[in-house]
Copies of this chain bind each other. A is one copy, B any other.
């Protein structure tokens, strides 16, 4: 029995996928490169260098259509948001970003969507200094998973678990902006977001679609902060994470909160997605914090106490908060 040469079928089908992946890598351009990248996309794994004397920080986040971004949100904005959200975790660890890998499933090949998404990823990658070194594309419901990596000097990572009684609690920037956006339709497009970002970087839609990981602040907190977390579930819920990990309690005062214009304190502390840093430091390090140049304001909002739970005051009097931060599975 003898047939003709060559697996033409395999080749021609495979080329469709190869061509698409090549196009996606091309759309990301120099965002797939970086000083730490030895081998970027296209092999079984990427190869990166990690500076001597450092430790690797790894974080994974997942974004699902209709849960973490609106159905029919523009792909480029989804890409920007997906990468920003993930790099924010590196900021909260005080890490310097090195590389990220992206896993995407979608029901059918939507080449235009993927190319726009790749461009959005690349925009956020360039602005945060992280390289996209690999990914995975499969058939399934629209779902995006980003694993981001970075390094910290040995022993210098910011953890959630180091808060101690008497520490001061700070938050960076303003909060409540993403919550305001979530209360709207979230309808926008890239051109509108870029125009808004030029005019008003604090605009809720800009905050939502272009999270600004507080990388410089996180790195400047190494050796000073006793604990840190990024505000993703909501300030109150994230402070609870810190208290639980550190086995302490906390008290914050709503009147001290640095609010995004238009936000109320009551909604700001339970809305997630602000991606500011919430951190604690001993009172005698506060001057040092102020002295270290950072690119964002920080505000003293409360204190760490012995015990457990988070107490909320308004102008010194305790209040009850009825709403909750964003929770999955409830």
User: A: which residues have CB within 8 A of B?
Assistant: 1-11, 13-14, 16-18, 20, 38-39, 42-50, 52, 55-65, 67-68, 89-90, 92-93, 95, 99, 101-105, 108-109, 133-141, 143, 145, 147-150, 152, 157, 159-161, 228-230, 234, 236-237, 240, 244-245, 270, 309-312, 314, 317-325, 327-330
Contact = CB atoms under 8 A, between A and B. Distances in A.
Given A1-B319, A44-B89, A45-B92, 13 more contacts: A1-B314, A6-B312, A14-B325, A16-B327, A43-B159, A44-B229, A45-B58, A48-B58, A58-B101, A58-B134, A101-B147, A137-B329, A141-B141
A146 to B, nearest CB: 9
B64 A105 contact: yes
A160 B134 CA distance: 14
27 contacts: A5-B318, A6-B311, A7-B312, A7-B324, A10-B237, A10-B240, A10-B321, A14-B237, A14-B240, A14-B325, A16-B329, A44-B90, A44-B92, A44-B229, A44-B230, A45-B92, A47-B93, A49-B56, A50-B55, A60-B101, A62-B140, A64-B138, A64-B140, A105-B143, A143-B145, A145-B147, A147-B147
The 6 A-B residue pairs with the shortest CB-CB distance in the complex, in nearest-first order: A64-B140, A45-B59, A145-B145, A141-B141, A3-B320, A147-B147
A60 B136 contact: yes
Given A39-B157, A237-B14, A330-B13, A321 B45 contact: no
Contact of A10 (B90, B270, B314, B319): B270
B43 A93 contact: yes
Nearest to A38: B55
Q: Chain A binding site: helix, strand, loop or mixed by DSSP?
A: mixed
Contact of A39 (B148, B159, B327): B159
B56 A138 contact: no
Contacts of A230: 44
A133 B237 contact: no
Contacts of A138: 62-64, 67-68, 328
Contact of A329 (B6, B39, B136, B139): B139
A139 B42 contact: no
B93 A45 contact: yes
B60 A55 contact: no
